[in-house]
Amino acid sequence: MGSLSQVQPILRFEQFEVDLEAEELHRDGVLVRLQRQPFRILSLLLRNPGKTVTREEFRQELWPKDTFVDFDHSLNTAINTLRKRLGHSAKGLHLIETLPRRGYRFAAPVKAVETLHSRIKIVVLPFDYWSSSPDEEYFTAGLTEEIISQLGRCNCISVIARTSSMQCKSRQMSLSQIGQELGVGYILDGSVRRDEQTLRISVQLIRVDDQTPVWTEIYDRELTGILSLQMDVAWDLVDKVCKTLAPNMDGMTFSDPPNFESAAHEAYIRGH
């Protein structure tokens, strides 16, 4: 049908990566949850970048004749869901153009990746916080966010988005339930305990299939320079995770330290 009709399993556009075989969408290495029908629509659009996919072509490929649904409503709903997952409305409209009464067109360049990496899936659960000052629990939120962000830049590893991990934590799911729900092989879990001006951060990398710890790390730090403390611990953890789960990978990269003041970052994390 289109120029990418015979594609490799991995397609990339902007900061996104799509695994057609596993039916997974990643943004900066972080898994984006997407239902099957919106994903199939995305797949069809990506296999025909820059070309119009008509409404009839969507109907023929995704809604067979013996499927009794309101086609127009179903297609519009799936397109809107897909746009939201790709970003805010303006971004979604930029990537997926509407051609009135005809169909849709994917506007961004799409690149097929020749080498398929077998990705290892991991979820970082929100760390528990133990202290007499619960108002400072924002520190654990910032630490969890930094770990997820940096894991997303580690080759061969897919990390579940924070919103999904928070839902599992709030539902008090067991490790096996989390593994089944999110399809992950590993869980990074931990806690932060404060004693006056000292923090003890305990972290475990857990293998889901037998629910045993692969390793445990403990960090004792003075509570000074919250931003640098978060980054130091997060980067050290991510380095250990990547070297443990993907020891032979090439080109592990981490982002440069952000260029903003620590006080501003602390205010951002508190608000978030």
130-136 — which CB contacts under 8 Å span 24+ positions?
Answer: 130/191, 130/192, 130/193, 130/194, 131/192, 131/193, 131/194, 132/194, 133/194, 136/194
Between 6 and 130, the more confident residue is 130
* Phi, psi values for residue 15, rounded to 5°: -95, 15
* Residues across the chain: 272
Among 47-61, 65-79, 205-219, 239-253, which is the least confidently predicted range? 239-253
- Distance spanning both ends of the chain, measured CA to CA: 45
Per-residue pLDDT tens digits for 118-169? 778 999 999 998 876 666 677 888 899 899 988 887 767 889 988 888 888 8
What is the C-alpha separation between 170 and 53, in angstroms, rounded? 41
234 with 153: CB under 8 angstroms? Answer: no
Q: Where in the chain is the domain with CATH 1.10.10.10?
A: 10-113
111 with 18: CB under 8 angstroms? Answer: no
| pLDDT for residue 3 is more than 60 | no
What is the C-alpha separation between 193 and 202, in angstroms, rounded? 8
Q: What is the pLDDT of residue 118?
A: 75
CA 56 to chain centre: 32
CATH architecture of the region 10-113? Orthogonal Bundle (1.10)
Q: In Å, what is the CA distance from 6 to each residue of 13, 46, 55?
A: 17, 11, 22
Q: What is the pLDDT of residue 197?
A: 78
152 with 170: CB under 8 angstroms? Answer: no
In 3-state terms, what secondary structure has residue 175? helix
239 with 226: CB under 8 angstroms? Answer: no
What is the C-alpha separation between 167 and 247, in angstroms, rounded? 30
Q: What is the pLDDT of residue 257?
A: 46
| pTM, rounded to two decimals | 0.63
Q: Where in the chain is the domain with CATH 3.40.50.10070?
A: 120-271
Conformation bin of residue 101: beta by default, left when phi > 0, alpha when psi is -120 to 50 = left
What does the pLDDT average to over 18-33?
Answer: 83
Residues 6+ apart with CB under 8 A from 49: 2, 3, 4, 13, 106, 108, 109, 110
Q: What is the pLDDT of residue 200?
A: 92
For the 120-271 domain, the top CATH level (class) is alpha beta
| pLDDT classification of 170: cutoffs 50, 70, 90 | confident
Looking at the DSSP assignment, which residues form a beta bridge with residue 181?
none
What is the C-alpha separation between 119 and 194, in angstroms, rounded? 35
Q: What is the pLDDT of residue 271?
A: 58
